[in-house]
């Protein structure tokens, strides 16, 4: 009668316990990801509401917020931001959808890289009354990317020449969507007199 197991028997028992531990760890991780995926939506909605409620002098509303882990994406739909005392009936900012996607591969290496895509976004800037010392910033400061600015101004010029928007004192500029090309639409940048 032996009190000790031989080396191969001890090793076999250890392999089985390590294999069991690995399966338990994989199942626990999968369960944690499933729970996180289901709880991210309500958490993201409440945090978005909290952030938008903190905008001073503004009221904001949105339809819904979606968060996904694979790919890592935050998407907000029907976002409207209005002044508390509006000067026009239009919101200052509106977007049917804004999607921010972050690349996991770059995030795991400590870098933040991704894309921002908008659908049907519109920004309204109010021109100060005549005689006021305050002026709107140059369009180059509002749209800091030269390629988007050229695209926006070209689109606005085409629409202004056909719709007569110069008489209405408003300028609608074209797409500011950065990617992907199949999701682009023409957001507008509106300059209006109050």
Q: What is the pLDDT of residues 20-41, one digit of tens each?
A: 899 999 999 999 988 888 888 8
Three-class DSSP category at 44: helix
In a domain, 152, yes or no: yes
Beta strands in 89-145 (DSSP E): 93-102, 114-127
In a domain, 85, yes or no: yes
Total domain count for the chain?
1
Q: What is the pLDDT of residues 127-181, one digit of tens each?
A: 777 888 877 777 777 766 676 667 666 655 544 433 333 322 233 333 333 333 3
- The contacts of residue 130 (CB under 8 Å, 6+ apart) are none
**Residues listed for the chain:** 194
In a domain, 18, yes or no: no
In a domain, 6, yes or no: no
Quickly list H helices, 54-124: 104-108
Kindly report the pTM of this predicted structure. 0.60
In a domain, 28, yes or no: no
């Amino acid at each position: 009668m032996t009190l000790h197991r031989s080396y191969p028997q001890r090793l076999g028992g250890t392999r089985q316990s390590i294999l069991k531990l690995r399966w338990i760890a994989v199942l626990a991780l999968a369960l944690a990801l499933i729970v996180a995926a289901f709880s991210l939506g309500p958490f993201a909605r409440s945090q978005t509401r909290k952030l938008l409620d903190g905008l001073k002098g503004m009221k904001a509303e949105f339809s819904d917020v979606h968060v996904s882990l694979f790919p890592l994406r935050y998407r907000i739909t029907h976002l409207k931001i209005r002044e508390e005392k509006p000067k026009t009936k239009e919101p200052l900012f509106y977007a049917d959808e804004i999607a921010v996607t972050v690349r996991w591969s770059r995030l795991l290496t400590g870098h933040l890289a991704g894309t921002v895509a908008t659908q049907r976004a519109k920004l309204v800037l109010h021109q100060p009354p005549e005689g006021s010392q305050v002026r709107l910033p140059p369009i180059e400061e509002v749209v800091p990317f030269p390629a988007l600015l050229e695209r926006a101004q070209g689109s606005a010029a085409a629409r202004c020449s056909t719709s007569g928007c110069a008489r209405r004192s408003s300028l609608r500029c074209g797409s500011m969507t950065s990617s992907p090309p199949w999701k682009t639409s023409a957001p507008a940048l509106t300059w209006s007199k109050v």
